[in-house]
Amino acid sequence: MAVRVDLNISLDGFATTTDQTPEKPFGDDWPRLTGAYVATRTFRERVLGDTSGSGTTGVDDRYAATYFEEIGAEVMGAGMFGLHTFPDDPDWRGWWGDEPPFRCPVFVLTHTPRESISFANGTVFHFVSASPQQALALATEAAGGKDVRVGGGATVAREFLAAGLVDRLHVAIAPILLGRGIRLWDDLRGLESGYEVTAETAESGTVHLTFSR
Amino acid sequence: MAVRVDLNISLDGFATTTDQTPEKPFGDDWPRLTGAYVATRTFRERVLGDTSGSGTTGVDDRYAATYFEEIGAEVMGAGMFGLHTFPDDPDWRGWWGDEPPFRCPVFVLTHTPRESISFANGTVFHFVSASPQQALALATEAAGGKDVRVGGGATVAREFLAAGLVDRLHVAIAPILLGRGIRLWDDLRGLESGYEVTAETAESGTVHLTFSR
């Protein structure tokens, strides 16, 4: 069982854009940051429900497929679930419609209690006020021997990385400079110690970097 | 004739370390930042004068060799030449001893006039108070049709990049997180526009990224 993080970042290290509005909840920068991933066959099938077989099938798709393999539970921040964007909507059920791509228990970190939300495809959102260690303990138990993903956002991922809780970090680095947003790498000096770091370049120009231990 | 920049940066974007002292002018982080480059056969021969043929000969060495090809003149900041580290030494002749690896005219940007310094191998340091455009005009004329390098440091390189003066940017990204230093990428949002960006991973784990136009 491993704790895994997968993020899309820009060359200048921004993992979350900051030009979001309620009308544009991901901002204008988001499509450029995640474009190579969104273009993959795996993303189109798994997240968009497009079973036509369209989408890229190269290196980016290999990482996209790996992303979904062997994950038994997920932990994410309140912002990633959307609670910061829609704080006053008690019926908010996440960004993902009726088929959230997780298909496993997801523990959303928030100090505000909410009822759990279940979907037919196996996704269940639980809302917990917990430290990273406590959240991982819950997720690990729920994962039943499979891996646990810390999904994000950037601030949450960095918190788990800084605490030494992550076994495998995969970043897909888009060859673009955003110049603004939330930096993944802040205050992680020396993170590479104890990890093997490998890099691979995709046809899209995306650089896939993996820290494994 | 092209204007070229080549820099070693960390994964978190630091191109210059900031732990320098007069006793340790490059700081403790420098060897880790530049290790893959310094290990190449080209660096050992060209910069260290080691003609024994030792050093790596893979992807890193190919970029190192390209680094020195077709450069007719160089522009660098006062800090890279060492004027910020040894401001009170009128006899300072740079870090590189009697065989500076440039072998061409080098224009050092400084507001303090100094006499030019010539070396037997063709390196001549000129000290000029000039804007980026003016410095490039001087270097272009001195280069006699060959390329001009903007050598650094990071702040100077960023200034030339922001002014749109650079035709080819090559960064060798070491898979380490420094967490401190001078960021290359600050305030360069959208730099990739107008460039083709390619990436290649070396045996050392270094990712070579090239912006070309």
B179:A190 CB<8 A: yes
Tell me if B187 sits within 8 A of A12, measured CB to CB.
no
A200:B201 CB<8 A: yes
A11: chain B residues, CB-CB within 8 Å: 13, 185, 192, 209
Enumerate the β-bridge partners of residue B125: B106, B117
Residue with tokens 């009128």: B90
B189:A179 CB<8 A: yes
pLDDT tens per residue across span A19-65: 777 677 677 788 889 999 999 999 999 988 899 999 999 999 999 99
Once rounded to an integer, what is the mean pLDDT over residues A85-94? 90
Percent share of chain A, pLDDT over 90: 85
Residue A23: per-residue pLDDT: 73
Residue A18: per-residue pLDDT: 74
Count CB atoms within 10 A of the CB of residue A62.
Answer: 15
Query: What radius of gyration do chain A's Cα atoms show?
Result: 16
Calpha distance B203→A57 (Å, rounded): 25
Residue A137: per-residue pLDDT: 98
B12: chain A residues, CB-CB within 8 Å: 13, 183, 185-186, 188
A177:B200 CB<8 A: no
Q: How many CB pairs under 8 A join A and B?
A: 79
Residue A85: per-residue pLDDT: 85
pLDDT tens per residue across span A168-212: 999 999 999 999 989 999 999 999 999 999 999 999 999 999 999
Residue B191: per-residue pLDDT: 96
Residue A86: per-residue pLDDT: 86
Residue A79: per-residue pLDDT: 92
B207:A199 CB<8 A: yes
A175: chain B residues, CB-CB within 8 Å: 192, 197, 199, 209
| Confidence check: pLDDT of A76 > 90 | yes
A177:B197 CB<8 A: no
Residue B30: per-residue pLDDT: 85
For residue A113, the domain's CATH number is 3.40.430.10
Calpha distance B124→B104 (Å, rounded): 6
pLDDT tens per residue across span A100-156: 999 999 999 999 999 999 999 999 999 999 999 999 999 999 999 999 999 999 999
Report H helices in chain A: 30-38, 41-46, 59-68, 78-81, 132-143, 154-162
What is the domain range of residue B165?
Answer: 3-212
A205:B199 CB<8 A: yes
pLDDT tens per residue across span B6-54: 999 999 999 987 777 767 767 788 888 999 999 999 999 998 889 999 9
> Which residues in B160-196 are b (16+ Cβ under 10 Å) and which e?
bbeeebbbbbbbbbbbbbbbbbbbbbeebbebbeebe
The count of residues in chain A is 213
B15: chain A residues, CB-CB within 8 Å: none
B190:A199 CB<8 A: no
User: A70 vs chain B: nearest CA distance in angstroms?
Assistant: 27
Task: Report the residue of B12, B158, B161, B188 to disrupt the A interface, i.e. the one with the largest count of A CBs within 10 Å.
Answer: B12
Once rounded to an integer, what is the mean pLDDT over residues B179-207? 94
Run of H or E residues at A108:
strand A105-109
pLDDT tens per residue across span B57-88: 999 999 999 998 999 999 999 999 999 888 88
pLDDT tens per residue across span B109-144: 999 999 999 999 999 999 999 999 999 999 999 999
Question: What are B149's two structure tokens?
Answer: 């390098």
Based on the structure, what is the number of domains in chain A? 1
Residue B143: per-residue pLDDT: 98
Which residue of chain A comes nearest to B190, CA vs CA?
A177
Q: Is the ipTM of this complex over 0.95?
A: no
Residue with tokens 């419609």: A97
Q: Given A175, A190, A207, which is nearest B192 (Cβ)?
A: A175
A207:B201 CB<8 A: yes
Residue B77: per-residue pLDDT: 97
* 3-class DSSP assignment, residue B81: helix
Once rounded to an integer, what is the mean pLDDT over residues B99-103? 94
Which residue of chain B comes nearest to A175, CA vs CA?
B197
B207: chain A residues, CB-CB within 8 Å: 199, 201, 207, 209
Q: Given A183, A190, A209, which is nearest B175 (Cβ)?
A: A209
Residue A29: per-residue pLDDT: 85
Residue A174: per-residue pLDDT: 96
> Which residues of A make CB contacts under 8 Å with B?
11-13, 175-180, 183, 185-192, 197-201, 205, 207, 209
Residue B164: per-residue pLDDT: 97
Amino acid identity of B128? V
Residue with tokens 């160089």: B74
How does the average pLDDT of chain B come out, rounded?
94
Calpha distance B141→B135 (Å, rounded): 10
